Amino acid sequence: MELANLIDGFKLYLCFLPLLTFHEFGHAWVAWKCGDDTARLQGRISLNPLAHMELVGTVILPLLAIFSAGLIIGWGKPVPVNPYNLRRRRLDDTLVSLAGPAMNIALAAGLIALAKVGLLLNWMPVAGELVQVAQFSLFLCFFNLLPIPPLDGSHVLKNFIGMGEEAYGRLSQYGFLIVIVAFNFRFVQEILSKATRLTLNLLAWSFGLHA
């Protein structure tokens, strides 16, 4: 593997950590606002990356992707949510689940706005880097929306079909393995790529950019 590619991979990983941190912060904050303070009591309403890092999803898989020249995928330590503390159990659990991906979209919008400023100041390389990080943030958004435990989309699907907590817990035992296998299917990669590109183009158009 070329040194330049390795350096680029580590740069992307360094961008991954704050994106993941804001993602998990969003989950914890919304859970607290919806009546469950479990995450708050465990120090998860925090912008400290260490509070949200998980060995497999935050360290091992992303670093393996760097050394294998693959696309970085990963997740943080699941935010603890007691659904019985939520005011509107299934609705609030869905809102908590969507808060992380929504945070990634908000971050992407902010990065595109900064890229627009960079272009106005003729800082082309900076603007280009900001657009790439925005694209990465959107990819993480849609990756986490896959309906596979422990990803956020699985909670949305669980609440939509009325799946019980016990059945969901049994399914979650195999979640990490299913995520890794599913991501190796080409059609899954294509869905994520198209959703990311479409949203990036929409945000870029909103700020007068061409992604």
Confirm whether 102 is domain-assigned.
yes
* 8 Å CB contact between 108 and 209: no
* 8 Å CB contact between 200 and 134: yes
Q: What percent of the chain has pLDDT above 70?
A: 97
Tally of CA atoms within 13 A in the half-sphere of 40 that contains its CB: 10
- Give the Cα-Cα-Cα angle 205, 208, 211 (nearest 5 degrees): 55
Confirm whether 191 is domain-assigned.
yes
Confirm whether 211 is domain-assigned.
no
Count of domains observed in the chain:
1
Q: Residue 69: pLDDT above 70?
A: no
**Is-catalytic flag, 24?**
yes
The tokens describing 68, both together, are 């294998």
Residue range(s) defining the domain that contains residue 151: 3-206
How far apart are the two ends of the chain, measured CA to CA in Å?
28
* 8 Å CB contact between 73 and 62: yes
Confirm whether 199 is domain-assigned.
yes
- pLDDT at position 70 is 64
Mean pLDDT of 145-171: 91
171, amino acid identity: L
- pLDDT at position 174 is 84
Q: Measured between alpha carbons, how far is 131 from 125 in angstroms, rounded to an integer?
A: 10
Residue, of 124 and 211, whose pLDDT is higher: 124
Whole-Å CA distances, 73 to 94, 179, 189: 23, 10, 11
Confirm whether 79 is domain-assigned.
yes
pLDDT band (50, 70, 90) for residue 1: low
Confirm whether 62 is domain-assigned.
yes
Stated length of the chain: 211
Model pTM? 0.90
Confirm whether 111 is domain-assigned.
yes
Q: What SS3 state is found at 159? A: helix
Interval 25-62: pLDDT, tens = 999 999 999 999 999 999 999 999 999 998 888 888 88
Of 24, 129, 165, 166, the catalytic one is: 24
Q: Residue 4: pLDDT above 80?
A: no
Burial of 49 (C-beta count, 10 Å sphere; 0-12/13-18/19+): middle
